[in-house]
Structure 1
Amino acid sequence: MKLHHVQVSCPPGGEGSARKFYAETLGLLEIPKPPLLAARGGAWFADDDFELHVGVEADFAPARKAHPCFAVDDVDAYAARVGAAGYPVEWDDTIPDVRRFHTADGHGNRVEVRAQLTSR
């Protein structure tokens, strides 16, 4: 089994902010949504192994606990990019031997970025 995608939400009209965070800051590629789903708004992003979908919710509330986690080769470089783009960078050392930080996308959804795992 393999994870295909994770979905987070944004308020109506929030696609531009989602693009700024997920595409411009994190470097994910925006991919087209199927036409029937595109009519609902939102945006889809992808990397080699997964997709992240941003759906529109009329009664939007940011996810402050549930979150996607991105494993990256250079977590310090990502922290610098995220911070330079104006997003929070909160380092977390509660898991031994795992270098990671939490941030929030442009709508306040929690996002974790961590160093690539070398083993399980």
Structure 2
Amino acid sequence: MSFIFKSIDHIQLAAPKGSEAVARIFFGEVLGFQEIEKPETLRKNGGVWFQFNNYQIHIGIEEPFAPAKKAHPAFEVENLEALKMHLTNNEVSFIGDTDLPGANRIYVHDPFGNRIEILEWI
């Protein structure tokens, strides 16, 4: 082939109209992602963008809104136990899962019902 895929540029999750403040609390304050400015030409669409390391999470507005219940991003973390305590302290529930060999993982749902996998390879 004459082309190659280089990396994932960003992941987009959907949210209902007017939910940017809630997204800022969950993704910015609870998960600790840095909010980044959207390009001027896309601001009219609503939503909010975040970044950690070289990865971007775009929270886009979708009407009518329906959360992604099966399709999901998966984030690798270091020290999953500390994150679980942090989530508990912030009243964010999670579901533990041991079905993936070689990994400890949990599932959380963002405030809009989108499923997010968080795992630590052991």
TM-score by length of 2: 0.91
Q: CA deviation at 1:8?
A: 0.2
Equivalent residue number for residue 114 of structure 2: 109
1:88 aligns with 2:97: no
Distance in 1 separating the partners of 2:71 and 2:92 = 18
**What is the number of equivalent residue pairs in this alignment?**
117
Distance in 1 separating the partners of 2:85 and 2:72 = 20
Q: Deviations for 1:79-105, whole angstroms, at most 9, x for unmatched residues?
A: 111222222111100011201100100
1:10 aligns with 2:10: no
List aligned pairs for 1:36-115, cutoff 5 A: 36-115=41-120
Q: CA deviation at 1:63?
A: 0.7
Two-structure CA RMSD over aligned residues (Å): 1.2
Unaligned runs of 5+ in 1: none
Distance in 2 separating the partners of 1:83 and 1:61 = 26
Match of 2:25 among 11, 20, 44: 20
Distance in 1 separating the partners of 2:112 and 2:87 = 14
4+ runs deviating over 6 angstroms = none
TM-score by length of 1: 0.92
Q: CA deviation at 1:40?
A: 0.9
Which amino acid in structure 1 is aligned with residue 115 of structure 2? Answer: R
Distance in 2 separating the partners of 1:83 and 1:60 = 27
Q: CA deviation at 1:112?
A: 0.9
Q: CA deviation at 1:27?
A: 0.7
